[in-house]
Chains A and B, each alone.
Chain A
């Protein structure tokens, strides 16, 4: 999450003049440090006044909208993972790599097709074309990998599937690194040209009542809502979705009813990989994430958090957990920018959510006991 931190620091610098005079009053040391530097020398008074500031409706609305955008991203990242785990019990470590490949592929399509003269709507259209292409390519890749590599492992302990997908991550990341550096790009930093393909209204902020909302955030929220709706409709309104749900519930019974569960596995793995790729396409326009090779690890960990917090394999849980994590992330980013100088605050909170949920409710918020080796 290097990019996230860098952006957070940058925005902190930008927002400094906005810190209310109250916080800068003498005696209240906002960014000072105590003996243990991480425990910021923020006094209770400062925390209190920051809380008052935080609770101002304008700030709350701002945090809420940012939180929704982040939630949309987290859900996008995690949905594929949860589908795959729910049906097959495979914790796919290569998920982040699929997202990263999606970001690069989507970026490639847009960089090749968008020129300076392309209008805003045309860019959105090309973006959607990119989404379709990336979905197709990654679904194909996912299907091939499932049939060729993961299928032989179903009768072994689930640990081997974790190990195999972990190995896949190494291979995929390194391959992308080779290809990317072949074209003279820096694999570890964001692909800057992609940001240039954003339509004007996404790159700018829109005044929405009292707050300024980045167009990108609105776009992400809309995209997330559409994806969640589509996946939900697929799972509950189509025959194949019914089969997928039945397979998650009881694979043996499903098989007994004459359904080729193995083929359903392949389809769902392909679907999950495809959605991961689409999430990558969405992330490539966001300067906090961007298309880079480390994006794989940056997205994999939050995806795990969301999936585990929601309860492994439940779609509803993933959506709720995604919103929870997104909101907490947005709130903690605000606190980091305004009151607490510890740089890792949003991230550490996300992982703390994971730990606390697992301690308090091991099966996750909506999980059913008995899934995932309990």
Chain B
């Protein structure tokens, strides 16, 4: 069952081009930047090489064209240049995009606080996700990434992934309410997370040992079966409380703190009500902001760990299994063990995500943690963000939550309706549309709280037209991971543009 057969091979071919840089034809051909555009660009540039001043004068507009299309010449040059760069500079260059994304995320709470005081206040409140929403994006994004780790990279669609998410959540909540023997209620949260992760990894090994004998649709179905067995079991498990269907909430324990275990000064609690505030440089971070940074930190560490595994020889074998399992086995890899290992790792991180969810919310129900539609949400995020891209699912979830918040009911983070109420007059909102339905009524009926409809429709469109997802599609267009290709493309164009201006000045 090969998902996204393009992904595995694309970066390889392109990085090959990048390094050799010797074959201008290939370099140009591999560029995914539309045919017509680059055709014009190359033509113009060919002229420029032969007789630069004449070429420029004859076609004054062609400068614009060639800027958008990198040429073989400049491509080769930039690669040669980057070869001479010292490695720290090259490293920083390769991670420029990552640093930029991190910086945006790092500054987001502050910027959000500033922006909602600006004149565009109501527009921005309606459009931007709240800091609390971003926390949910983080932990659920981690869950979606762990789903992508197993399903996107080995090609085995795990429809029971919510089991591990739920395991994480329930371990934290059960331990936090002192219901787990030998574990005091005040056990450090970080230890609980690791414990939950290990438990989930064990569970994954057990489920995987039975499930990985199957493949394709059957694998999806047996994991769904296991998932539902656990879900139904938890829903009726009276150990949890008198009404296990209502789930579990932690009431006594103080906030779940992230930091160095047993060192109070080096850890801060998360949660909206039980979290800590933190003062630094004359500003005080609210409980949400503290949670935002701490949850974000854990998610970042987990992401880096998974990213590392994907790019290790182990991860290469996972991709090989996705592309052609028989061949991987024929080469001599024990694919069963690799799949099992990948499944356990994925379960580990899913449980961390669940633990973060439980630690922040301090409550969970079987339907919000173990149900198969929770896996469905992760699937949604993974497909929209990009299947088999690891970071993509986080963006997919951001997209998903963003739309949901935008179309949420009043009082759940602001969105379209509160905004319209503020800005449109009563008369406009009360206008009759068809059959006695007012504008406001129509919005309330068709938009508010019905984000699933629009997300579902978008999802269908994504499956049909953008099967690689947001990140996957951009990567395909750039011809490799964004962080690697984007600086190159900018680097290819800037010197050229500079040179052109210089020549124009000389004349």
Chain B binds chain A = yes
Query: CB within 8 Å of B: which residues of A?
Result: 33, 35-38, 91, 149, 152-153, 156-160, 162-164, 166-171, 173-175, 177-178, 181-182, 297, 301, 304-305, 308, 312, 342-345, 347-348, 351-352, 354-355, 358-359, 362, 372-374
Which residues from 424 to 447 on chain B have a C-beta closer than 8 Å to any C-beta of chain A?
Answer: 445-446
- Render B223-255 as a binary contact track against A, CB cut-off 8 A, 1 for contact: 011101100110111111000000000000000
B213 within 8 A of A: yes
A121 nearest CB across to chain B (Å): 37
A299 nearest CB across to chain B (Å): 14
Q: B235 — which chain A residues lie within 8 A by C-beta?
A: 343-344
- The chain B residue sitting closest to A308, CB to CB, is B221
Of A163, A342, A348, A354, the residue contacting B222 (CB under 8 A) is: A354
Of B218, B226, B453, B456, the residue contacting A308 (CB under 8 A) is: B218
Q: B225 — which chain A residues lie within 8 A by C-beta?
A: 305, 308, 351-352, 354-355, 358
Q: B295 — which chain A residues lie within 8 A by C-beta?
A: none
Decide if A174 touches B450 in the complex (CB within 8 Å): yes
Among the 9-residue stretches B40-48, B264-272, B413-421, B460-468, the one with 4 or more Cβ atoms under 8 Å from chain A is: B460-468
Decide if A171 touches B456 in the complex (CB within 8 Å): yes
5 tightest A-B CB contacts, nearest first: A373-B216, A37-B238, A170-B456, A174-B453, A344-B236
Decide if B217 touches A178 in the complex (CB within 8 Å): no
* Cα distance, A304 to B221, chains bound together (Å): 8
Interface residues of chain B: helix, strand, loop or mixed (majority): helix
Decide if B217 touches A373 in the complex (CB within 8 Å): yes
Query: CB within 8 Å of A: which residues of B?
Result: 1-3, 157, 210, 213-218, 220-222, 224-226, 228-229, 232-233, 235-240, 372-373, 376, 379, 383, 445-446, 450, 452-453, 455-457, 459-460, 463-464, 467
A-B contact pairs, 25 of them (CB 8 A): A36-B237, A37-B239, A37-B240, A38-B237, A153-B463, A157-B2, A157-B3, A159-B157, A163-B459, A164-B464, A167-B456, A169-B456, A170-B455, A171-B452, A171-B457, A174-B450, A178-B445, A178-B453, A304-B224, A344-B236, A352-B225, A359-B222, A372-B216, A372-B217, A372-B218
Decide if B373 touches A373 in the complex (CB within 8 Å): no
Q: A177 — which chain B residues lie within 8 A by C-beta?
A: 450
Decide if A358 touches B214 in the complex (CB within 8 Å): yes
Residue of A160, A174, A175, A344 with most partner-chain B CB within 10 A: A344
* Cα distance, A168 to B456, chains bound together (Å): 7
B492 nearest CB across to chain A (Å): 34
A12 nearest CB across to chain B (Å): 13
Q: B467 — which chain A residues lie within 8 A by C-beta?
A: 156, 160
Decide if A312 touches B457 in the complex (CB within 8 Å): no
Residue of B224, B228, B450 with most partner-chain A CB within 10 A: B228
B446 nearest CB across to chain A (Å): 6
Decide if A374 touches B222 in the complex (CB within 8 Å): no
Q: B210 — which chain A residues lie within 8 A by C-beta?
A: 355, 359
Of B222, B455, B463, the residue contacting A160 (CB under 8 A) is: B463
* Cα distance, A344 to B453, chains bound together (Å): 31
* Cα distance, A9 to B456, chains bound together (Å): 35
* Cα distance, A351 to B235, chains bound together (Å): 14
* Cα distance, A359 to B211, chains bound together (Å): 8
Decide if B229 touches A355 in the complex (CB within 8 Å): yes
* Cα distance, A153 to B218, chains bound together (Å): 20
Of B218, B379, B445, B452, the residue contacting A374 (CB under 8 A) is: B218
Residue of B1, B2, B221 with most partner-chain A CB within 10 A: B221
* Cα distance, A100 to B464, chains bound together (Å): 25
Of B217, B236, B463, the residue contacting A91 (CB under 8 A) is: B217
Q: B457 — which chain A residues lie within 8 A by C-beta?
A: 167, 171
Extra pairs beyond A33-B238, A152-B464, A170-B453 (15, CB < 8 Å) = A37-B237, A91-B217, A91-B220, A149-B460, A149-B464, A156-B467, A157-B1, A158-B1, A163-B459, A167-B460, A173-B452, A351-B226, A351-B228, A355-B222, A372-B218
* Cα distance, A173 to B239, chains bound together (Å): 34
Decide if A373 touches B215 in the complex (CB within 8 Å): yes
Decide if B229 touches A170 in the complex (CB within 8 Å): no
* Cα distance, A157 to B383, chains bound together (Å): 14
* Cα distance, A304 to B126, chains bound together (Å): 41
Decide if A174 touches B237 in the complex (CB within 8 Å): no
Decide if A344 touches B217 in the complex (CB within 8 Å): no
B207 nearest CB across to chain A (Å): 9
Decide if A351 touches B229 in the complex (CB within 8 Å): yes
Q: A157-B1, A158-B1, A178-B453 are in contact. Are A344 and B446 (CB under 8 A)?
A: no
Q: B226 — which chain A residues lie within 8 A by C-beta?
A: 351, 355
- The chain A residue sitting closest to B446, CB to CB, is A178
- The chain B residue sitting closest to A355, CB to CB, is B225
Decide if A167 touches B216 in the complex (CB within 8 Å): no
Q: B464 — which chain A residues lie within 8 A by C-beta?
A: 149, 152-153, 164
* Cα distance, A181 to B453, chains bound together (Å): 14
Q: A162 — which chain B residues lie within 8 A by C-beta?
A: 157, 217, 220
Of A153, A163, A344, A374, the residue contacting B383 (CB under 8 A) is: A163
- The chain A residue sitting closest to B159, CB to CB, is A162
Q: B216 — which chain A residues lie within 8 A by C-beta?
A: 158, 372-374
A280 nearest CB across to chain B (Å): 20
A231 nearest CB across to chain B (Å): 22
A371 nearest CB across to chain B (Å): 9
B227 nearest CB across to chain A (Å): 9
* Cα distance, A345 to B235, chains bound together (Å): 11
Q: B446 — which chain A residues lie within 8 A by C-beta?
A: 178
* Cα distance, A178 to B451, chains bound together (Å): 11
Decide if B445 touches A181 in the complex (CB within 8 Å): yes
A100 nearest CB across to chain B (Å): 14
